[in-house]
A and B are shown apart, each in its own frame.
Chain A
Amino acid sequence: MSVFMDLNVLFSADRSRLQSLVETAAHLGFSTVAINYVFEPTTKKKQEVPSPVPISELIGQLPVVQGRSRPIKVLNRLTVVMSEASHFRPNTTEYRAFDLLAIQPTTEKLFHTTCMLCDVDIICISVTEKLPFFFKRAPINGAIDRGVVFEVSYASALRDSTMRRYTIANAVCLMESCKGKNVIVSSAAEKALELRGPYDIINLGALFGLSDADSKEAVSSTCRAVLLHAETRKTASGIVYTRISQQDTLQDCVGSEAPAAKRPKPT
């Protein structure tokens, strides 16, 4: 029994919609869901990075995952859609409030910078338009070594036939260059009816050019690797993390799982 996760559920201001989304995800068997806040900075005006609404305010009682006895875990994630490297400042306090960070690059140069340098967990491949640039092996291999994953989302494919073609085209291009490693498939669902069960997504991965085993990994173990990678961003090179105890003094704890996080696949 593996753990399935859906790391992209779009945030909407409507509470009941989010609640029904999370409940459907729990019913389908996803153990973890990440609510995605999309942020698109433009150079014209200074925009505020949206701050995440705390989970306890959003959903009262977390539903239990189908087939398990634990309630579903809900995380926060920020996606920055950008065209220039200056838009992204990784150490600002607003970014620290999110559990996962993602970038959607729109130019080739930025894609290269993001893969090699930027401190993010996920690189989103856009599915709503034909890719303006081609993938090269060099930045992709660099990203794989660092533990960054590429994400393909499928909700737009469900809506429209042209989107379906773009999604499949872009996904197939990506799989060719990265050979199926470090990929996650997630829904960018706005409504509860746009989610799909984990085994259906595994089969959809076969359409994108992934093998069966890679496809299953794309929904389970690679997602878990992303979560571990995100945790290490808050620590000092993944070995030590600090936690404020009740007496307001700093305590040092050693995270034993952290060294494995630098390598996506445990050997």
Chain B
Amino acid sequence: MVRVKSRYLLCEINVSDRRDLLKLDDRAVAGSVKAAVARTHGDYGAALCSIRFCVKYLNAHTGIVFLRFHKGCYKLLWSALPFITSIECRGQIIPCFLNCLHVGGTIRTCQKFLIRYNTRQLHQMLPKYKNKEEKRKIQEAILSCSLTGGGNKALEDELESEEEDDE
């Protein structure tokens, strides 16, 4: 039984200014990862990157990105990720850094982790909000987190609106 195995890296893009996050798109992120790998590991790294690398998912509101790598070389390519200092998108340079949260073998495990992580973020945000209406919204979002049933989508909407309120 031969099954093609990959590693999915769940990363979070941290920027200093939240509004810059919305300008990102997956091709820009892919381009900057390839450039960083080429800078750090040269032609060998660039070649490894072209095997099975792609950006599987990017959420511009929360800055979460799923990167897929080939299982044999993901460690080497992962070691080049800390050297990313900015992402260039449509002519604008956005200073940021990538923080890896989880490594999984499938997208499903990464999604499960992401749901737990987002729930924790909402829990942390809960004491900051004094307004009863907003507290109720966050509590509803926490309760509706689940793998099936589109709970994840509701989370992202909540996160986005909460973070906009935060400013």
A residues near B (Cβ < 8 Å) are 20, 24, 27-28, 64, 66-67, 154, 157-159, 161, 164, 192-197, 199-201, 203-204, 206-207
Q: How far is the CB of B40 from chain A (nearest CB, A)?
A: 8
Interface string of B54-98 (1 = CB under 8 A from A): 000000000000000000000100110111010000000001111
The chain B residue sitting closest to A159, CB to CB, is B85
Interface string of B92-117 (1 = CB under 8 A from A): 00011111110000000000000000
Q: Is B137 located at the chain interface by the 8 A CB criterion? A: no
Contact A193 B85 (CB under 8 A): yes
Per the bound structure, the CA–CA distance linking A235 and B96 in Å amounts to 43
The answer to whether residues A28 and B99 also contact, given A64-B124, A203-B79 and a CB cut-off of 8 A, is yes
Q: Is B14 located at the chain interface by the 8 A CB criterion? A: yes
Q: How far is the CB of B126 from chain A (nearest CB, A)?
A: 12
Per the bound structure, the CA–CA distance linking A250 and B98 in Å amounts to 50
Per the bound structure, the CA–CA distance linking A66 and B95 in Å amounts to 23
Q: Give the residues in chain A near B120, CB-CB below 8 Å.
A: 66-67
Q: Is B5 located at the chain interface by the 8 A CB criterion? A: no
The answer to whether residues A196 and B75 also contact, given A158-B82, A158-B85, A161-B39 and a CB cut-off of 8 A, is no
Contact A201 B39 (CB under 8 A): no
Q: A192-B16, A193-B16 are in contact. List 5 more A-B contacts (CB 8 A).
A: A158-B85, A161-B39, A199-B100, A200-B78, A207-B79
Q: Give the residues in chain A near B75, CB-CB below 8 Å.
A: 203, 206
27 contacts between A and B (CB under 8 A): A20-B16, A24-B14, A28-B99, A64-B124, A66-B124, A158-B85, A159-B85, A161-B39, A192-B16, A193-B14, A193-B96, A194-B97, A197-B99, A197-B100, A199-B100, A200-B78, A200-B81, A200-B82, A200-B99, A200-B100, A201-B82, A203-B100, A204-B79, A204-B82, A206-B75, A206-B79, A207-B79
Per the bound structure, the CA–CA distance linking A23 and B40 in Å amounts to 29
Q: Is the interface of A mostly helix, strand, loop or mixed?
A: helix
Per the bound structure, the CA–CA distance linking A121 and B39 in Å amounts to 35
Per the bound structure, the CA–CA distance linking A251 and B163 in Å amounts to 50
Contact A196 B82 (CB under 8 A): yes
Per the bound structure, the CA–CA distance linking A159 and B95 in Å amounts to 12
The answer to whether residues A158 and B83 also contact, given A197-B99, A200-B100 and a CB cut-off of 8 A, is yes
The chain A residue sitting closest to B124, CB to CB, is A64
Q: How far is the CB of B27 from chain A (nearest CB, A)?
A: 22
Q: Give the residues in chain A near B78, CB-CB below 8 Å.
A: 200, 203
Q: How far is the CB of A37 from chain B (nearest CB, A)?
A: 24
Q: Give the residues in chain A near B101, CB-CB below 8 Å.
A: 197, 199
The chain A residue sitting closest to B85, CB to CB, is A158
Q: How far is the CB of B94 from chain A (nearest CB, A)?
A: 11
Q: Give the residues in chain B near A195, CB-CB below 8 Å.
A: 97
**Which of A157, A159, A196, A201 has the most B CB atoms < 10 Å from its CB?**
A196
Q: Give the residues in chain A near B100, CB-CB below 8 Å.
A: 197, 199-200, 203
Q: Which of B21-61 contact A (CB under 8 A)?
A: 39-40
Q: How far is the CB of B166 from chain A (nearest CB, A)?
A: 13
Q: How far is the CB of B136 from chain A (nearest CB, A)?
A: 23
Q: How far is the CB of A29 from chain B (nearest CB, A)?
A: 9
The answer to whether residues A193 and B39 also contact, given A158-B82, A158-B83, A203-B78 and a CB cut-off of 8 A, is no
Q: Give the residues in chain B near A207, CB-CB below 8 Å.
A: 79
Per the bound structure, the CA–CA distance linking A28 and B99 in Å amounts to 8
The chain A residue sitting closest to B86, CB to CB, is A193
Query: 4 tightest A-B contacts by CB?
Result: A197-B99, A200-B82, A196-B82, A203-B79
Per the bound structure, the CA–CA distance linking A194 and B96 in Å amounts to 9
Per the bound structure, the CA–CA distance linking A157 and B39 in Å amounts to 12
